[in-house]
Structure 1
Amino acid sequence: MTQDSHDGSQLKNDFLNRLLIDCDTGIDDALALAYLCALDNVQIEAVTSTPGNVDVEQVAANNSALLTLCGKPEVPVLIGAREPLEIPLVTTPETHGPQGVGYATLPVPGPTSIADIDAVDYWVEAARSHPGELTVLLSAPLTNFALALRREPKLPWLLRKVVIMGGAFYYQGNTTPTAEWNTHVDPHAAKEVFAAYTAAAEQGLESEKLPIVCSLDTTERFEMQPEFLTRLAEEAGCEEPELVQASDTEATLSK
């Protein structure tokens, strides 16, 4: 290998984001997954499934179908926890539809599309094998991550970065007057995760390894308005305008 090609390969690796994604798919998770699949500088190592918007078997089925739809069928889909740490699971079909993706119809995943590996085991082994290389993106309740931290307390040092979608700080909740959905589903897991990182910071964890928390006061600034959907349809080659009308009946499907 020449020096130039070596430098080019190293530069590519420096800009490549290797992600472990944990989600409870979920309309918003589905959009995030589709977006990440389209990025050249993102390598999805695995998608782990946590119960939340729907039960975990449906989450995993959604993840597998979406990855196939987005041209990434080789990405492993894993299941970890099947319920919150201490309280019963509450799902939200009234918001995310009966299957978690609104009223969209996804292909049924094949019998071998969901890996027979525990998500928490995978996380711990991946972090130990690739220290400082992996970013964890959490858009679900923090159940799986809390279990992983229990099993490997050095995860804050082993991971490159952690990004959490959850919480509401000085902002009205979307589930109760003060609680955001992901934190509401498993508050004990959220407490354990933040306590683990507080302890890690006290032990000298670098500030750049502390979690980036995208709470409701951040995420609710972004809205998908009908005009944007119309533009997306145009760029996707839709033969007629994709218009969203206030008069549309519930479950009107996109063309």
Structure 2
Amino acid sequence: MKPVIFDVDTGIDDAMAMAYALNSPELEVLGFTTCFGNVPVVDSTRNTLAVLEKLNRRIPVYEGADQTLVRGRKKRYPKHVHGEDGLGNTLRFEPTIKASQGNAADFIIDQVQSRPHEITIIAVGPLTNIALAINKAPMIMSLVKEVVIMGGAVNVPGNVTPYAEANIISDPEAAHLVLTSGLPITLVGLDVTLQTYLLKPKLDDWRATGKESAEFLAEMTDYYMKAYENSHPGLGGCALHDPLAVGVAIDSSFVRTEWMSVKVVTEGEEAGRTIGQKDGEPRIRVCTNVESERFLKHFLERVI
């Protein structure tokens, strides 16, 4: 089993990714670390605990960054995509399980130091927690086995601005720090996630299982698909952004990658843009193609 720290800003696709990861025997999820992003961090933590409760799993959850590295608190959250609560307005209960004592950056540092060259970090929100860990303990960079990041748009347009993907623009300075840090990174961006679509009829299959957790995921994903329909009329589904990062952590052969150095624009109209170059250092793996049907089959076999 691959020991994993899973860094989330739990909205709807995070919840699907959590279920996928926790139902995959290849991964040993050591803990979840939460960040602002789709929702404020207190809501991200609550949502993470709520999803774990619905999945009947008890995994440590450590609350992390409530604001960006240098810009202060995020001012707007994508409620039109993830709902008022971040989970498609499905949260009709307060989770009974509680977050662990301590903070996300310290948990990352402690785990990496205690298990050198073993830990994979899957990051599907803004990269603030990882940036804070690097700033506090730069020696951990040589001890991390791999970081799989859902973020960026290297060869395609962004989804928040024409240039920027949501996770990167939420904290461009943190993203630039992490992507140029020398960590062993695989970047799973819109270049590949927008080739992975879950279509609406699959939600009926989830509901047909009769599982409470399946109904919970189906209801929130239905909300997410309606948001997609507003921006992509006729699509009839949604992209699997965060789940694909989990898929790549499980089986890297789902994607093809190219080695690039990737820098993040932090100022002006193009803030949040991820610029990939074939030369330059340090280089990371940038996903450029995905076997979408094989990945989707794998995801559907695991998520419910």
Q: TM-score, normalized by length of structure 2?
A: 0.67
Following TM superposition, by how much is the alpha carbon of 1:213 offset from its aligned partner in structure 2, in angstroms? 0.4
C-alpha distance in structure 2 between counterparts of 1:60 and 1:105, whole Å: 13
Give 3-state SS (helix, strand or coil) of 2:138's partner.
coil
Pairwise CA RMSD: 2.4
Query: Does residue 1:78 correspond to 2:58, yes or no?
Result: no
C-alpha distance in structure 2 between counterparts of 1:104 and 1:83, whole Å: 25
Query: Does residue 1:228 correspond to 2:202, yes or no?
Result: yes
Q: Match for 1:136: what amino acid?
A: I
The structure with the largest strand share of the pair is 2
Structure 1: runs of 5 or more not aligned:
1-15, 201-209, 251-255
Could you tell me which residue of structure 1 aligns to residue 170 of structure 2?
185
C-alpha distance in structure 2 between counterparts of 1:216 and 1:155, whole Å: 28
Following TM superposition, by how much is the alpha carbon of 1:72 offset from its aligned partner in structure 2, in angstroms? 1.2
C-alpha distance in structure 2 between counterparts of 1:156 and 1:113, whole Å: 30
Following TM superposition, by how much is the alpha carbon of 1:235 offset from its aligned partner in structure 2, in angstroms? 3.9
Q: Match for 1:138: what amino acid?
A: A
Q: Pairwise mapping of residues 185-224 of structure 1 onto structure 2 (< 5 A)?
A: 185-197=170-182, 210-224=184-198
Q: Residues 102-129 of structure 1, C-alpha deviation per residue, up to 9 Å, x if partnerless?
A: 122253123x611121111111011101
Q: Match for 2:90: what amino acid?
A: A
Following TM superposition, by how much is the alpha carbon of 1:236 offset from its aligned partner in structure 2, in angstroms? 4.4
C-alpha distance in structure 2 between counterparts of 1:237 and 1:181, whole Å: 32
Following TM superposition, by how much is the alpha carbon of 1:157 offset from its aligned partner in structure 2, in angstroms? 1.8
C-alpha distance in structure 1 between counterparts of 2:226 and 2:130, whole Å: 39
Cα 1:71–1:114, aligned 2, differ >3 Å: closer, same or farther? same
Contact residue 56 and residue 82 of structure 1 kept, 8 A:
yes
Query: Does residue 1:94 correspond to 2:80, yes or no?
Result: yes
Contact residue 65 and residue 106 of structure 1 kept, 8 A:
no
Task: State which structure, 1 or 2, has the greater radius of gyration over its C-alpha atoms.
Answer: 1
C-alpha distance in structure 2 between counterparts of 1:162 and 1:194, whole Å: 10
Following TM superposition, by how much is the alpha carbon of 1:237 offset from its aligned partner in structure 2, in angstroms? 6.6
Q: What is the count of residue pairs matched by the alignment? A: 217
Could you tell me which residue of structure 2 aligns to residue 125 of structure 1?
110
Could you tell me which residue of structure 1 aligns to residue 34 of structure 2?
49
Q: Of 89, 95, 114, which residue of structure 1 is paired with 2:99? A: 114
Following TM superposition, by how much is the alpha carbon of 1:228 offset from its aligned partner in structure 2, in angstroms? 1.7
Following TM superposition, by how much is the alpha carbon of 1:249 offset from its aligned partner in structure 2, in angstroms? 9.1
C-alpha distance in structure 1 between counterparts of 2:200 and 2:146, whole Å: 34
C-alpha distance in structure 1 between counterparts of 2:11 and 2:39, whole Å: 7
Contact residue 132 and residue 160 of structure 1 kept, 8 A:
yes
Q: Residues 148-188 of structure 1, C-alpha deviation per residue, up to 9 Å, x if partnerless?
A: 11112122321111100000012011000110000010001
Give 3-state SS (helix, strand or coil) of 1:63's partner.
helix
Q: Please say which of residues 177-186 and 188-197 is displaced more in the overlay.
A: 188-197
Following TM superposition, by how much is the alpha carbon of 1:78 offset from its aligned partner in structure 2, in angstroms? 0.7
C-alpha distance in structure 2 between counterparts of 1:56 and 1:249, whole Å: 25
Query: Larger relative CO (CA 8 A, sep 6+): 1 or 2?
Result: 2
